Amino acid sequence: MTEAEFAELDSNPPAWLLQSRANRSKTARPVWITLTCDICGYSETARPKKWWPQFSYLSCSHHDIWELPDPAPGLAREEIDGIGASFVGIVDR
């Protein structure tokens, strides 16, 4: 195959190639991250969601929020429930 033929195939892929690319992306390993509680160290593996912000802390949902260090001066703390199966995400900003 010449380079020109390859470029043509790549920019205008035939059905069999599209199908094989689709199969590959479907079977691609999902990205997993480990969520770790900053209070007790419990951890869980989860698929990160696109809407998750960058968390300052993570804690199990059964902990009290004041078990975590206070936010830095000038930062407001926001709690986001429903992170993974049993976590609350804390964002200080």
Comparing CB distances to Zn ion, the nearer of 28 and 55 is: 55
CB of 48 to Zn ion, least distance (A): 19
Q: H or E segment at 91? A: strand 87-92
Minimal distance, residue 47 CB to Zn ion, in Å: 20
Q: Beta partners for 28?
A: none
Q: Give 21 or 62: the residue with its C-beta nearer to Zn ion.
A: 62
How crowded is residue 90: how many other Cβ atoms within 10 Å of its Cβ? 19
Q: In the complex, which residues of this chain contact Zn ion (CB under 5 A)?
A: 37, 39-40, 42, 60
Distance in Å, CB of 85 to Zn ion, minimum: 12
Nearer to Zn ion, 39 or 80 (CB): 39
* First-to-final CA distance of the chain: 55
Give the nearest distance from C-beta 18 to Zn ion in angstroms. 46
Residues 6+ apart with CB under 8 A from 54: 91
Are 29 and 58 a contacting pair, CB within 8 Å?
no
Residue placing its CB nearer to Zn ion in the complex, 38 or 78: 38
